[in-house]
Structures are given as structure tokens and as C-alpha cells.
């Protein structure tokens, strides 16, 4: 038995060895990163004004441009949520020092729900099946009408955001609360919930990609598109993570906490899921090319005609071939600067991928970039950055009292 007077030393409120190593682990007052929320807010306002001015003259282009940028930042938040759930489900130790970055990004999902609202004003411009009478002379749309109808579409969208936001807030508050209490039961409870949460996330993300991207071409069929969207989302988040980590180390934040060993594992994930994305993308294309069924090939036909063909080839080389060979070496993955270059490139390729998925519906004749593409990216990106960076200022940058933090700090690749 431990004497009553000696038990004080074992209270969770006392600093742990890992906590002492990390130190305060917050953004200090006066640091340049404290200005990021203001920069994001100003960017969002400027982008919104540009969207309002330019969109008034070309509303249909506005809705398509907004959809692309919305999907881009939403996919990063969903990729972050999957990353954190996987860390809990697998009881991974190496990623604990990175987990708070993912938590800060996925908790922007309620903000993304608000940014979805402008799209509701342009449903008829985006989705041909929403136009009244569209199914009257189209047998396939009539057959799909029990699923592809506006009321059910809106109900599903609301459910997606409610489910994603619930999971995100559950894990974010649990992790933040553990910083205060140090209760190891928090990690155990969130680990038990991670498996079911992953299943729910996979199903809702799949149907969201069907609703918001696939149904742009309502006659198209694909049983692999949900996995394709997931793969791109996870690659996008890991790419963003590599850029953020490099920027944080360069700014003197967590430079003694996130080591070359952690960078190496980020690089390995980025390399592996780049190959996974290519595998899914090629499998979807190859199966449709081989079957040669009109209801499947129409989607690819639109993307190999006109100036969309060079974009398709560029995506193949830029999203797979170039990063595959660039990230293959060990040295590239263990240096923050070189890893960030690969991450920034893949982040740009993820945007091109989503642009390539959406825009041929509006511009079947070929690639036609618009200033609204930039304006929407700045507006939504500004909101995304402002929300995430504002939360980052208000919390520790690592989960200070996670029971496996010491293991993560001492992590070494073997």
C-alpha cells in the first residue's frame, strides 16, 4: 500500500516526463503564427467579395468553381479525421505528436458545413437531374429518382455534416479534455469507438462523393468512385501535414518534438498512399475501358477529348509518376524541406484531380480556367485557414497528457 501522503505524486495533474520534455508546447505571444487567423480572415473576405462581383456576371461558373474548392478543403478535413481515427484504432505511438494537428484540421468540419450552403442556391446549375421535368423523358433518371431527388439529397447532406461534426467534436473535446485531466480512460474510450467511427466515416464519405461529384454526370456508373475520393482525400491530408510540420519546425514550433523519425513516417505514408491512389485510379479506368459499356465510359470520354486530354496525362504524371520517384528515397523523407516540396506538389495535384473530376461537366469542350476558380479557392481557403489557426492558438500543439506521448517522443524507425 502507498501511504496516503505519498499518493499526491501520482495524481494526473502532476507533470509527466513527456510533458516536461515538450514544455509548454503552445504558440508563444508575439510569434508570427498568431497573425495567421487575421490573414486567413482577410483572405476569406477578399475572396468572397471577388466571388460576389465575378459571380454576378457568371453564376454558373461561380457554382462550379465553389464546388471544386469546397471539395478540396472538405477532403483535407475528412482525411485528417481518418488519420486520427486510424491512430486510435491501431494504437499507433509514433503519430501522437502529430495528432493535434489533425484534430485542429478536422474540427473545421462544422465550418465546411456552412460553406456548403452557397451550393444550395445553384443546384439546378450544377446537377441536371434537379431541374424540374428532367426525368420525364429520361428512363434512367426516372429509375434513379428515388435516390436522386432534391429533398433526399438535402437530407443526406445534412446527415453527412451532422455525423462528421459529431465524430470530430467527440474526438477533439476528448483529446483536449485529457490535456487537463490526464485520465488514461479517455484514450481507451476513444480507441474503442474508433473502429465503428471509421466504418461510419467510410460509408458517409462514399455517399457524399456519389452525391456531390458522381451525380454531376447522373448517367454514369462506378462502384469504385468512393474509394477513389477517399484515396485522394488521405493523400491530400498527408501532403498538407508534411507542409505544416515543415513550416512549424522552420518557425521554431515543436522543432525539438517532431524529429526526422516522424518526418520519415509521414513521408512513407505519403509515398504509400500516392501509390494507392494510382492503383485505384487505374483500376477504375481499366475496368471501364475493358468492359466498354456506354454507361461507364461516358465519364472518361469527356476527359480524353479536347484540351482535357493533356490535363489527364498531366494528372497521371504529376499525381503518380513524379512523386513516386521523388519520394522513393530515404533522404527526401527525412528532411523537412524536401518532404514539404513533395507535399506541396501533391497538394496541388489533389486540387487538379478534383478540378478534373468536376469541370468537364461544365466545360465539355475543354479546359477553361476562370478568375472565379482563384476567388473561390481564396475565399474558402481563407475560412479554412482562419478557423484552424484560431483553434491552434488556443491549445497545446501536442496532446500533453496522452499516456503514450513519451513513446512518441522517443520513436525511432527500425
What does the H/E/C string look like for 256-280? CCCCHHHHHHHHHHHHHHHHHHHHH
* pLDDT tens digits along 220-257: 999 999 999 999 999 999 999 999 999 999 999 988 89
Q: Is a pLDDT exceeding 90 seen at residue 11?
A: no
The pLDDT, as a whole number, for residue 4 is 41
> What is the C-alpha to C-alpha distance for residues 253 and 98, in angstroms, rounded to an integer?
12
First to last CA, the chain: 40
Distance CA 373, CA 375 (A): 6
What is the percentage of the chain residues whose pLDDT exceeds 70? 94
| pLDDT given at position 413 | 83
Question: What is the C-alpha separation between 210 and 148, in angstroms, rounded?
Answer: 10
Q: Write down the pLDDT at residue 299.
A: 95
Q: How far is CA 258 from CA 84, 157, 178, 344, in A?
A: 17, 37, 21, 19
Cell numbers describing residue 414: 527500425
Q: What is the pLDDT of residue 167?
A: 97
Residues found in the chain: 414
Q: Considering the chain, what is the average pLDDT of its residues?
A: 92
Nearest CA to 405 among 237, 192, 179, 81? 179
Mean pLDDT for the stretch of residues 387-404:
91
Closest CA to 268 of 321, 334, 318: 334
How much is the pTM?
0.93
The answer on pLDDT for 13 being more than 60 is no
Chain centroid to CA 352: 15
104 pLDDT more than 70? yes
Q: Is residue 7 very low, low, confident or very high in pLDDT (cuts 50, 70, 90)?
A: very low
Q: Which residue has the higher pLDDT, 26 or 96?
A: 96
pLDDT at 350 over 90: yes
Position 18 confidence tier, pLDDT thresholds 50, 70, 90? low
Q: What are the angstrom distances between the C-alpha of 28 and each of 32, 41, 96, 195?
A: 9, 21, 21, 36
Segment 140-164 shows an average pLDDT of 96
24 vs 39: which has the higher pLDDT: 39
Amino acid at each position: 500500500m502507498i501511504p496516503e501522503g505519498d499518493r499526491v505524486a501520482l495524481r494526473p495533474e502532476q507533470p509527466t516526463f513527456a510533458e516536461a520534455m515538450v514544455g509548454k508546447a503552445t504558440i508563444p505571444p508575439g510569434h508570427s503564427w498568431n497573425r495567421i487567423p487575421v490573414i486567413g480572415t482577410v483572405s476569406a473576405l477578399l475572396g468572397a467579395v471577388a466571388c460576389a462581383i465575378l459571380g454576378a456576371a457568371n453564376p454558373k461558373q461561380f457554382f462550379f468553381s465553389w464546388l471544386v474548392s469546397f471539395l478540396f478543403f472538405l477532403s483535407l478535413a475528412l482525411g485528417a479525421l481518418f488519420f486520427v481515427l486510424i491512430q486510435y484504432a491501431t494504437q499507433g505511438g509514433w503519430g501522437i505528436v502529430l495528432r493535434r494537428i489533425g484534430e485542429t484540421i478536422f474540427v473545421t468540419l462544422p465550418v465546411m458545413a456552412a460553406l456548403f450552403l452557397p451550393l444550395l442556391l445553384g443546384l439546378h446549375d450544377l446537377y441536371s437531374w434537379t431541374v424540374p421535368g428532367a426525368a420525364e423523358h429520361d428512363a434512367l433518371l426516372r429509375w434513379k429518382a428515388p435516390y436522386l431527388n432534391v429533398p433526399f439529397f438535402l437530407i443526406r447532406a445534412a446527415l453527412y455534416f451532422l455525423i462528421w461534426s459529431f465524430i470530430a467534436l467527440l474526438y477533439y473535446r476528448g483529446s483536449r479534455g485529457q490535456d487537463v485531466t490526464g485520465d488514461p480512460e479517455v484514450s481507451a474510450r476513444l480507441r474503442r469507438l474508433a473502429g465503428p467511427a471509421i466504418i461510419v466515416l467510410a460509408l458517409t464519405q462514399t455517399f457524399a462523393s456519389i452525391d456531390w461529384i458522381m451525380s454531376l454526370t447522373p448517367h454514369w456508373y462506378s462502384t469504385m468512385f468512393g474509394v477513389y475520393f477517399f484515396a485522394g482525400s488521405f493523400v491530400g491530408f498527408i501532403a498538407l501535414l508534411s507542409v505544416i510540420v515543415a513550416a512549424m519546425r522552420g518557425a521554431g514550433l515543436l522543432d525539438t518534438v517532431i524529429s526526422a523519425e516522424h518526418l520519415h513516417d509521414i513521408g512513407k505514408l505519403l509515398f504509400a498512399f500516392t501509390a494507392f491512389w494510382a492503383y485505384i485510379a487505374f483500376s477504375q479506368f481499366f475496368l471501364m475501358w475493358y468492359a466498354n459499356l456506354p454507361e461507364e465510359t461516358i465519364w472518361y470520354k469527356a476527359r480524353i477529348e479536347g484540351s482535357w486530354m493533356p490535363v489527364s496525362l498531366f494528372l497521371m504524371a504529376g499525381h503518380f509518376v513524379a512523386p513516386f520517384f521523388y519520394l522513393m528515397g530515404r533522404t527526401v523523407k527525412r528532411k523537412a524541406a524536401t518532404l514539404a516540396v513533395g507535399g506541396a506538389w501533391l497538394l496541388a495535384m489533389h486540387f487538379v484531380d478534383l478540378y478534373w473530376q468536376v469541370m468537364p461537366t461544365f466545360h465539355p469542350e475543354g479546359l477553361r480556367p476562370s478568375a472565379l476558380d482563384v476567388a473561390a479557392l481564396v475565399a474558402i481557403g481563407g475560412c479554412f485557414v482562419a478557423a484552424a489557426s484560431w483553434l491552434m492558438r488556443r491549445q497545446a500543439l501536442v496532446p500533453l497528457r496522452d499516456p503514450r506521448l513519451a513513446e512518441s517522443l522517443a520513436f525511432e524507425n527500425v
